[in-house]
A and B are shown apart, each in its own frame.
Chain A
């Protein structure tokens, strides 16, 4: 019997982990280039989920298709936020930058509350109820699509970072900030682009999640802290590491829910977090920025 439970937990945890990975990937990129921990990450995801909701409810746009709209839109939004809020403070003390993003998070979450009130909204396309059984384990179709979508997005970004000029510039700035500037890279622009990509990642994640989740002003909180854990696990600035880290955290959380009583699954995630921070702060896969 336990074997069945563990298998189910592994499957559902893995699927959710893909989404965690995508959310964390954006956060990791932002950290790599801008060296800030973006507390407003979840809030941006929440805004994107509202956008997905409005596109679906008012215009009948399928949530997955709406990515074609929200992805670029939130890329632009991210760049804008970076230019207006973050860039002017780029020389501020680290802790101040953290608080800046915290203030931004408070602002955005409550802006949503003011504009759209606190009531929960649902995005429910026809296939939301679809599921099938694979070797005794339930697979919910929207979650499967979310995971697959996340992986595709992550791989696409990885290719982007590897093979395009902008991508290489981002990596250069992330790994060797002084050298990058000497090489004539437009550092300001790259910083804005990085933040924009981070926002786009989280917007895509939001659209992927909407069909099985719900939309409300505080919905980003479900992913915010987990994203930090995943980023540390994967190595801050290590984009693919974040994806792998996402799967690990998703699995750990789900297995924790199966094996531990009560709501202690959260403990597993934090314990993992603390252990990695202490013993492998560069992340499980290295390539991170150490302490």
Chain B
């Protein structure tokens, strides 16, 4: 019958097409291939805003990599970002990590909060999944002989010691002695870590810590605490805090005429934050901050900034810079590993020697514990409403104003 004839022809054509597809499985699979990267961040809760900034950086980086052709050694495989929300809770961090690992991620990124990180790193270690720490500041996260934990950003110790170093270098150039240091820090994990380091390095760096005040970051008033600081007559006041508390401290310190040469943030969430500066122009003038930053001399960094501005209609912050860099490290490692296999990827990450990045440091290399051996914070000062890198010298884009007149009585 005519119908049979036609249908048989159609059938044969279809069968032929199917057979043709079946004959080239490798090409087909390679074209569909992607490398999954999972992130776990506190998308809900008090750190939601910062978490979003990190996510923006991750997104931008992943899209940049994919637009440039993906992972070439894997046939142009694209990167895919799989989301996870920890709500800053440990049990959620664990379950999200477990879920993402189940879904086949080659690496996990996050989790922002150090306390979540302590637990998640055991999940990733057990599942042999590379865990790229993001924002978690606690030093001992890389301790304990773990093989799968890596941290690109400076850890607490590097952040505090190098920042204090940078301040002292700057003071020396200005011919001003810093002998007495006071520190206020929020009483949580972040602040206490910084406080401990500033205290333990006092003797080595040659200063006396004349006042150390942990404070409750929710408090609406720090006048009493700052009066104690003023009474101790410090040369420098160092502040490790979050946005709101840092604002109130800067405000009250100025009005009290606290008498220091400078107010220095240490990984402070506010003092080099462009939005904070824009909202509080006169308050933020000449504040220092030792913080994660990008390399202002790098043309590539400028390109990333422009791209971020265009896409998110906001200035790239250090959260975004760190996130962007983590993807850069992963991309580089994936290229060298030529595989999405977790163990191979881990080994490739461990052998990283990446100079093409936008951080204010030499090449990114990891030591045996997984820390970025050359990690370096930048020393920034707010000048004319912008955070300007004033140290280390080779990355500086401007000269510091030090001592700062307005803090004096």
Contact = CB atoms under 8 A, between A and B. Distances in A.
Contacts of B407: none
Interface of A is mostly: helix
Contact of A266 (B49, B213, B216): B216
A212 B224 contact: no
A7 to B, nearest CB: 9
A117 B46 CA distance: 10
A67 B213 CA distance: 36
B224 A8 contact: yes
B243 interface: yes
B221 A12 contact: yes
B276 interface: yes
A274 to B, nearest CB: 18
Contacts of A221: 218
Contact of A131 (B214, B219, B243, B255): B255
A61 B46 CA distance: 28
A176 interface: no
Interface residues of B, number: 38
A120 B243 contact: yes
Interface of B is mostly: helix
B216 to A, nearest CB: 5
Interface residues of A, number: 44
Contact of B275 (A16, A119, A213): A119
Interface in B29-61: 44, 46-50, 52
Contact of B279 (A5, A122, A131): A122
Nearest to B273: A120
B187 A213 contact: no
B64 interface: no
Nearest to A261: B213
Contacts of A51: none
Interface string A124-161: 10001101000000101001000000000000000000
Contact of A216 (B216, B244, B251, B279): B244
Nearest to B218: A222
Given A113-B44, A120-B243, A122-B247, A257 B225 contact: yes
Contact of B231 (A1, A16, A263): A1
B49 A117 contact: yes
Contacts of A124: 279-280
20 contacts: A5-B231, A9-B224, A9-B227, A12-B223, A16-B220, A16-B221, A113-B44, A117-B48, A118-B47, A118-B49, A140-B223, A213-B248, A216-B243, A216-B244, A222-B220, A254-B221, A254-B223, A261-B213, A262-B213, A266-B216
Closest 9 A-B residue pairs measured CB to CB?
Answer: A118-B49, A12-B223, A118-B48, A257-B224, A214-B244, A9-B224, A122-B279, A119-B49, A131-B255
